[in-house]
C-alpha cells in the first residue's frame, strides 16, 4: 500500500455508514469521508516485522526524519508524525520531514474520529456495522489512534459538523500541494518501509535485475541496494500534486454550500419524491447558501495547473515513459512513480477540452429522451468564478411525472451556466 493507495482509501472507500435513499446516497458520497479511515488503517494491517526504532530529544533533525520514515506503517503513522514534528522543531528547513509531515496532515485530522463521529453514526448510519468494523481492528497504535478521546474535540452530530471536518481535510490537501509547488525542484531519497510500501518494494525487486543475452546464453545481474529506497524528483511531485488537487476539488464540492439543518430531511428522504425533497430543502434554514469557506473560486487555478502539467508530461514522454525495443514500458527504476505514460493523442484532446473550458463558453452535446442529441453552449467557469449565492434561486419550481422530473427552473441560465438561457427548453427534451 503506497501513497496513491492511501489516497484512494480515504476518498473512495465509504462503506461504514451506509446511506438510505437516493438523496442521502448523493449527500453521503460527498461528505462522509471521515469513517473511511477505519479502512485506511486496517486495509494494510498485516503482521509487521518487529524492529527497534530509537527516537530521543538528543537526535539531530536528519536522524529524527529518518526515524520517522521507518515508522511509516499504518499502525504508527501518528507516531511518525510526532517524530517529524520533532525534526522540524530542530530544523524547519528539513525537506524530508516537511514532505512527510504535510503529506500526513490528511490522516492526522482523523485522530480520535470514532468517539467524535459516533453520535452521527447512531442517528443516521448503521451502528451495528460500525461496531463490527471496530472490533476487527486489533489492539495497538492504530486502534488507539482512532479511539483517542480529546477533551477539546467537537462531536460530529450533523452534516454541518461533517463539513467542518472536510474543510480541515481540504486545507490539509492544500498545504501539501503548496509544499510541492514551493519545492518543485526538490530531490529526495526516501526509505520505503516494506510493511507500508509493499507494492513498490516488490516492483523494485523486479526492476533491480537485468537480463542480458549474448552468444553464450543469458546472464542476469541484480542490484539490491535500492530495493527499499526511491528517489522523488519533479516528475513524481507532479503526480503527487495533481493527486492533492483532486482531493481539494472533491472536498470543495462538500464545503462550498451550506446544507443547513437538513439532517431530518435526509433521514426521511428515502420515501420522498425528488420534488418533495427539493421543496423541503428550500424550506430548510440556511440550505444552499454559499459559505465563506467556499473554494470554488480557486478551482480555476487548479485546472490551469493541470493543463500545464499535462502538457509537460506530453512534451517529455520520451524520458518519462521509456520503452524497450518491443514497445514495452520500462519502469523508471529507483523512482517513486514507476511510469508517467500517457496516450498522447487522447491526452492532447483532453488538454484542448480543458483549455476550452477554462477559456469560457464551449458547445457540447446533450442527449435527448428520444435517443437523438442536440448541442448547446455551456460556461462552466462562471459557476466557479462567480458562484451562485443561493442555490434555491436555481432549483426547479415546476415538476411533472408525479414529481419525478423537473420541468421549469426560475433562472433559465442557471446562474450563467447556460449562456443561451435554454434550461427550460432542454428540460422538456432531455432524459
pLDDT of residue 388: 95
Number of folded domains in the chain? 1
Domain-located, residue 91: yes
Domain-located, residue 127: yes
Domain-located, residue 23: yes
Overall pTM surpassing 0.85 (yes/no)? no
pLDDT of residue 50: 61
Domain-located, residue 315: no
pLDDT of residue 410: 95
Domain-located, residue 361: no
pLDDT < 50 regions, the chain: 1-46
Domain-located, residue 8: yes
Domain-located, residue 138: yes
pLDDT of residue 261: 87
Domain-located, residue 133: yes
pLDDT of residue 291: 95
Instruction: Write out the residue range of the structural domain in which residue 183 sits.
Output: 3-187+233-255
d(CA 319, CA 234): 13
pLDDT of residue 71: 87
pLDDT of residue 421: 96
pLDDT of residue 207: 64
Amino acid at each position: 500500500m503506497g501513497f496513491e493507495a492511501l489516497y484512494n482509501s480515504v476518498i473512495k472507500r465509504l462503506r461504514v455508514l451506509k446511506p438510505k435513499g437516493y438523496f442521502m446516497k448523493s449527500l453521503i458520497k460527498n461528505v462522509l469521508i471521515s469513517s473511511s479511515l477505519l479502512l485506511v488503517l486496517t486495509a494494510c494491517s498485516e503482521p509487521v516485522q518487529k524492529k527497534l526504532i530509537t527516537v530521543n530529544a538528543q537526535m539531530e533533525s536528519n536522524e529524527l526524519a529518518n526515524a520517522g520514515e521507518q515508522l511509516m506503517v499504518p499502525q504508527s503513522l501518528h507516531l511518525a508524525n510526532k517524530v517529524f514534528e520533532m525534526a522540524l522543531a530542530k530544523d524547519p528547513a528539513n525537506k524530508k520531514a516537511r514532505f512527510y509531515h504535510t503529506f500526513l496532515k490528511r490522516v492526522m485530522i482523523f485522530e480520535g474520529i470514532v468517539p467524535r463521529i459516533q453520535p452521527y453514526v447512531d442517528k443516521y448510519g448503521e451502528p451495528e456495522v460500525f461496531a463490527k468494523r471496530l472490533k476487527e481492528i486489533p489492539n495497538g497504535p492504530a486502534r488507539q489512534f482512532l479511539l483517542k478521546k480529546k477533551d477539546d474535540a467537537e462531536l460530529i452530530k450533523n452534516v454541518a459538523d461533517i463539513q467542518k471536518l472536510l474543510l480541515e481535510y481540504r486545507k490539509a490537501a492544500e498545504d501539501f500541494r503548496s509544499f510541492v509547488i514551493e519545492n518543485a525542484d526538490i530531490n529526495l531519497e526516501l526509505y520505503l518501509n516494506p510493511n507500508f510500501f509493499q507494492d513498490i518494494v516488490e516492483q523494485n525487486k523486479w526492476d533491480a535485475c537485468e537480463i542480458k543475452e549474448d552468444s553464450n546464453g543469458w546472464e542476469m545481474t541484480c542490484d539490491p541496494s535500492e530495493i527499499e529506497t526511491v528517489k522523488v524528483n519533479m516528475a513524481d511531485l507532479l503526480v503527487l500534486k495533481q493527486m492533492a488537487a483532486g482531493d481539494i476539488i472533491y472536498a470543495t464540492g462538500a464545503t462550498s454550500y451550506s446544507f443547513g439543518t437538513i439532517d431530518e430531511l435526509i433521514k426521511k428522504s428515502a420515501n420522498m419524491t425528488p420534488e418533495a425533497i427539493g421543496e423541503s430543502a428550500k424550506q430548510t434554514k440556511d440550505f444552499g447558501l454559499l459559505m465563506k469557506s467556499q473554494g470554488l473560486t480557486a478551482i480555476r487555478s487548479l485546472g490551469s495547473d493541470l493543463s500545464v502539467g499535462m502538457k509537460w508530461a506530453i512534451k517529455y514522454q520520451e524520458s518519462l515513459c521509456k520503452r524497450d525495443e518491443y514497445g514495452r514500458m520500462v519502469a523508471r527504476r529507483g523512482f517513486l512513480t514507476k511510469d508517467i505514460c500517457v496516450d498522447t493523442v487522447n491526452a492532447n484532446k483532453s488538454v484542448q477540452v480543458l483549455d476550452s473550458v477554462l477559456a469560457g463558453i464551449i458547445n457540447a452535446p446533450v442527449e435527448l429522451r428520444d435517443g437523438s442529441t442536440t448541442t448547446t453552449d455551456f460556461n462552466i467557469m462562471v459557476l466557479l468564478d462567480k458562484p451562485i449565492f443561493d442555490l434555491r434561486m436555481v432549483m426547479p419550481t415546476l415538476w411533472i411525472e408525479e414529481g419525478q422530473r423537473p420541468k421549469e427552473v426560475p433562472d433559465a441560465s442557471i446562474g450563467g451556466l447556460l449562456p443561451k438561457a435554454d434550461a427550460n427548453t432542454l428540460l422538456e427534451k432531455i432524459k
